[in-house]
Amino acid sequence: MTSEDRLPVIKKPAPRNRSSKRLLLFLFVFFITLLLVLFFQSSLSQITEIEVQGQELVSAEDVKAAAAVKPGDHFFSVSSSGIAEKVKALRMIESVQVSKHFPGRILIEIKEYPRVAYQIGEDGRIEALLADASVVPVTLQGFVPDKPLLTGWGKDDPLKTQLCLTMSKLSAAYFADVSEIKPDPSSSYPDKIKMYTRSQFEVQTTIGYLPEKIIHLNTYIANLKENNQSGGVLRLLEADSHTPLPFEQGRKEGDANTRLQANN
């Protein structure tokens, strides 16, 4: 007997059943598919909340309508960029940030174009004026204007456009006391305007002088009030002056035309 005959015989491993592998793979794919179907049919895959932030003039309802999404829509079938592009089409909107938060929440953050003033439209509703004097209807219910109201201006008056552009370059704080601005042209000053303040002063100046004069307006009014002048006409033209109201004349040494000195 040879040495090879004395070696134990090693059995070859039985081949695995390929059909069982295929069955396991099929079952795995089946259950994954079933879970996906159940997931996409459940509320977890749907939009449950649409939140709008940052809007002041455009209503949240108008933003949601422009976004063209609503609760119940599939959360994964809408894109943030697609929603932002649709909302950006609203005239008042300067920029939009849209983010999706699982499960089901969509946040739309709005930045509106800066407004410089307001006017009353032909239908009696408040309209916002942008820097280029373009008009945007105010759709927010119960909105209270926080900037001057322009009255008496023509629809396409180039001086109104010039005024809006000038105001856009100045701090809104300078106009905090101004409630109304109307045109008051003269032969000497074609761009002359009248501004009415909440502190009961009438301010006469020009659009061209506005950047130079408006920065001192609050100081002028504060000084006059310290001198018991509670109203009157402020002429902020080449030379600044103040004419008291009729009942105030004679209160300060009988001077009815007080010169003002700018704090340059």
3-class SS letters over 120-155:
ECCCCCEEEECCCCCEEECCCCCCCCCCCEECCCCC
pTM above 0.85, yes or no: no
| C-alpha distance from residue 185 to each of 112, 132, 170, 206, 218 (Å) | 33, 21, 22, 9, 24
Q: How far is residue 145's CA from residue 165's CA, in Å, rounded to a whole number? A: 19
Mind listing the domains of the chain with CATH numbers? Answer: 43-112 (3.10.20.310), 146-259 (3.40.50.10960)
What pLDDT, on the 0 to 100 scale, is given for residue 256?
42
DSSP H or E stretch at residue 193:
strand 192-197
Query: Residue 239 is encoded by which pair of tokens?
Result: 């030379």
Inter-residue contact 240 to 220 (CB < 8 Å): yes
State residue 259's pLDDT score: 62
Residue located via tokens 């009248």: 194
Instruction: Write down the pLDDT at residue 136.
Output: 87
Query: How many whole angstroms separate alpha carbon 208 and alpha carbon 163?
Result: 9
Which residues, other chains included, contact 137 with Cβ-Cβ below 8 Å and sequence gap of 6+? Answer: 121, 125, 126, 127, 128
Site of tokens 């491993």 = 13
Q: What is the pLDDT of residues 242-263, one digit of tens each?
A: 888 665 555 444 444 566 654 4
Structure tokens at 233: 């006409």
- Quote the radius of gyration of the chain (alpha carbons, Å): 36
In the chain, which residues have pLDDT < 50?
A: 251-256, 262-264
Contact 67, 83 (CB under 8 A): yes
pLDDT number for residue 263 = 44
pLDDT in tens, 82-134: 999 999 998 778 899 999 998 889 999 999 888 999 999 988 889 999 988 88
